[in-house]
């Protein structure tokens, strides 16, 4: 079968997507730059995506025309800033298909969102002997907060195993669920392997066991359509900077009843209704969880990124990324001694690999000289790599502005790596 036929197969038997990545690239000024005298090929999108001019302009426009502190001011700029911040919240609500904008809490990123859930919800419900389940392919930010919590509470962190290809063992998951399971927290799309986990099923099984389900959407929100109501998860987190928005802003979505019942995560301004020496009354949702001056410009930038993604079309973008992943997988498999790490049937945007006899850091260093930016190392998922008998991989990760030429440059760069280390 020809490469194109296989790629068409992956794209669901349709003709190729016809996605115009080339003209989209014009919106991303950094993609026109050179590194080491070569035009940049940016394939480190799982770490952070590049930002379109529309996002950069929204942030500078905010500082040029609107900047003021929010919620407390009676002057015009403060009202405008408040409006811009709250409009961004509504954009996130629409992105996630959430029922209510009050369920959207702005945080610094996925990491802070998970820590918030572990601290505020976890501390409240977990008792000695209870269990928290995570998967074998978690990012450290969905391991360490639960480890800290379990240590504090005398609870147990248990791990849903995965196959050598990076697919969860659902039967083992069902066996692990039990009357002591309080929380199941899992990654929607693995940043190390690219696996798309069967989120709806994982949530359903957690609920049947009486546990709540937390979804780490850091790698899914930018690449898949997320509908938190259809998913029926209890909490969902993602980071703005992986979704073409700025760093420093992210989102925790939670079911309203759960958020209402949770104590605050941090204390300070804006999260209170009234403070006396005797007693503090907390503000309503979502402000109860947004102590202090938030990243207003960050929220505005994230809102602009969501608008941008809407214009591109998330589903069209996802089909293109899937086509690219298929093409890249074929091209890389042609390279002798290269092994793809993570071969799940459902994958999104991530191609991890190792090259026989060559350390991933050496691969990354030579590719950098060729103008190709990838990530090498453990991808903050050390237990996942350890499970596969590895300490590091090289990882190319895609966004909708990547092209087949980018993949060809990666393949050519890898040929150069082999020459250097022959």
Per-residue contact flags (x/-) with ligand PLP for residues 18 to 57, judged by CB under 6 A: ----------------------------x-----------
By CB under 6 A, residue 248 contacts ligand PLP: no
Interacting stretch for ligand PLP, rule CB under 6 A, among 88-96, 162-170, 172-180, 215-223? 215-223
By CB under 6 A, residue 141 contacts ligand PLP: yes
17, 135, 197, 219: which one binds ligand PLP (CB under 6 A): 219
Closer CB to ligand PLP, 209 or 350, in the complex: 350
> In the bound complex, what is the minimum distance in angstroms from residue 399's beta carbon to ligand PLP?
14
Interacting stretch for ligand PLP, rule CB under 6 A, among 84-92, 103-111, 145-153, 401-409? 103-111
How remote is the C-alpha of 354 from its chain's centroid? 23
- 273-291 burial string, b = 16+ CB within 10 Å, else e? eeeeeeeeebbebbbbbbb
By CB under 6 A, residue 191 contacts ligand PLP: yes
Cα separation, 398 vs 416, whole angstroms: 21
> In the bound complex, what is the minimum distance in angstroms from residue 46's beta carbon to ligand PLP?
6
Closer CB to ligand PLP, 243 or 271, in the complex: 243
By CB under 6 A, residue 139 contacts ligand PLP: yes
> In the bound complex, what is the minimum distance in angstroms from residue 8's beta carbon to ligand PLP?
29
Closer CB to ligand PLP, 119 or 239, in the complex: 239
Q: Could you tell me which of 228, 226, 231 has the C-alpha nearest to residue 242?
A: 226
> In the bound complex, what is the minimum distance in angstroms from residue 48's beta carbon to ligand PLP?
8
Closer CB to ligand PLP, 21 or 193, in the complex: 193
Cα separation, 376 vs 362, whole angstroms: 9
By CB under 6 A, residue 185 contacts ligand PLP: no
Per-residue contact flags (x/-) with ligand PLP for residues 265 to 294, judged by CB under 6 A: ------------------------------
Concerning whether 380 is annotated as a catalytic residue, the answer is yes
Closer CB to ligand PLP, 110 or 366, in the complex: 110
> In the bound complex, what is the minimum distance in angstroms from residue 141's beta carbon to ligand PLP?
4
> In the bound complex, what is the minimum distance in angstroms from residue 357's beta carbon to ligand PLP?
28
Q: Of 380, 387, 390, 408, which one is the catalytic site residue?
A: 380
Cα separation, 373 vs 367, whole angstroms: 7
Interacting stretch for ligand PLP, rule CB under 6 A, among 75-83, 135-143, 171-179, 197-205? 135-143
Interacting stretch for ligand PLP, rule CB under 6 A, among 93-101, 138-146, 264-272, 335-343? 138-146
By CB under 6 A, residue 216 contacts ligand PLP: yes
**Sign of the four-CA dihedral 215, 190, 251, 157:** positive
239, 329, 397, 403: which one binds ligand PLP (CB under 6 A): 239
Closer CB to ligand PLP, 141 or 393, in the complex: 141
For the sheet containing 235-239, what is the strand order?
104-107, 250-254, 235-239, 212-216, 181-187, 131-135, 156-160
By CB under 6 A, residue 110 contacts ligand PLP: yes
Interacting stretch for ligand PLP, rule CB under 6 A, among 61-69, 119-127, 134-142, 338-346? 134-142
By CB under 6 A, residue 331 contacts ligand PLP: no
3-state secondary structure the chain: CCHHHHHHHHCCCCCCCCCCHHHHHCCCHHHHCEECCEECEECECCCCCCCCHHHHHHHHHHHHHCCCCCCCCCCHHHHHHHHHHHHHHHHHHHHHCCCCHHHEEEECCHHHHHHHHHHHHHHHHCCCCCEEEEECCCCHHHCHHHHHHHHHHCCEEEEECECCCCCECHHHHHHHCCCCEEEEEEECECCCCCEECCHHHHHHHHHHCCCEEEEECCCCCCCCCCCHHHHCCCEEEEEHHHHCCCCCCEEEEECHHHHHHCCCCCCCCCCEEEECCCCEEECCCCHHHCCCCCCHHHHHHHHHHHHHHHHHCHHHHHHHHHHHHHHHHHHHHCCCCEEEECCCCCECCEEEEEECCECHHHHHHHHHHCCEECEEECCCCHHHHHHCCCCCEEEEECCCCCCHHHHHHHHHHHHHHHHHCC
By CB under 6 A, residue 111 contacts ligand PLP: yes
Closer CB to ligand PLP, 142 or 376, in the complex: 142
Residues of this chain that bind ligand PLP (CB under 6 A): 46, 109-111, 139, 141-142, 187, 191, 216, 218-219, 239, 380
Question: Mind telling me the catalytic residues?
Answer: 380
């Amino acid at each position: 079968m020809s490469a194109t036929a296989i790629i068409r197969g992956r794209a669901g038997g349709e003709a190729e997507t016809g996605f115009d990545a080339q003209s989209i690239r014009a919106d991303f000024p950094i993609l026109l730059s050179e590194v080491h005298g070569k035009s940049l090929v940016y394939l480190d999108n799982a770490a952070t995506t590049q930002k379109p001019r529309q996002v950069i302009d929204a942030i500078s426009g905010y500082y040029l025309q609107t900047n003021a502190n929010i919620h407390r001011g009676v002057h015009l700029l403060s009202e405008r800033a408040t409006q811009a911040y709250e409009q961004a919240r509504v954009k996130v609500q629409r992105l996630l298909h959430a029922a209510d904008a009050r369920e959207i809490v702005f945080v610094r990123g996925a990491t802070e969102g998970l820590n918030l859930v572990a601290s505020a919800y976890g501390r409240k419900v977990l008792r000695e002997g209870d269990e928290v389940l995570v998967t074998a392919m978690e990012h450290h930010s969905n391991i360490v907060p639960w480890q800290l919590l379990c240590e504090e509470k005398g609870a147990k962190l248990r791990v849903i195993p995965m196959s050598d290809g990076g697919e969860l063992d659902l039967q083992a998951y069902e066996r692990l669920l039990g009357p002591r399971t309080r929380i199941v927290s899992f990654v929607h799309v693995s940043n190390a392997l690219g696996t798309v986990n069967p989120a709806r099923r994982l949530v359903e099984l957690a609920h049947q066991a009486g546990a709540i389900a937390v979804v780490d959407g850091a790698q899914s929100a930018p690449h898949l359509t997320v509908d938190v109501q259809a998913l029926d998860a209890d909490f969902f987190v993602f980071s703005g900077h992986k979704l073409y928005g700025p760093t420093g802003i992210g989102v925790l979505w939670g079911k309203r009843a759960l958020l209402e019942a949770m104590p605050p995560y941090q204390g300070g301004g804006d999260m209170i209704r009234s403070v006396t020496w005797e007693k503090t009354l907390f503000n309503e949702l979502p402000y109860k969880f947004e102590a202090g001056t938030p990243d207003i410009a960050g929220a505005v930038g994230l809102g602009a990124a969501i608008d941008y993604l809407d214009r591109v079309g998330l589903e069209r973008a996802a089909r293109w990324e899937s086509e690219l992943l298929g093409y890249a997988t074929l091209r890389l498999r042609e390279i002798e001694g290269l092994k793809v790490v993570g071969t799940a049937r459902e994958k999104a945007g991530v191609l991890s690999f190792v090259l026989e006899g060559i350390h991933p850091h050496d691969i990354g260093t030579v590719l950098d000289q060729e103008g190709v930016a990838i990530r090498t190392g453990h991808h903050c998922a050390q237990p996942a790599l350890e499970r596969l008998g590895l300490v590091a991989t090289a990882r190319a990760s895609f966004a909708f502005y990547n092209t087949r030429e980018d993949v060809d440059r990666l393949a050519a760069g890898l040929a150069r790596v082999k020459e250097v280390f022959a």
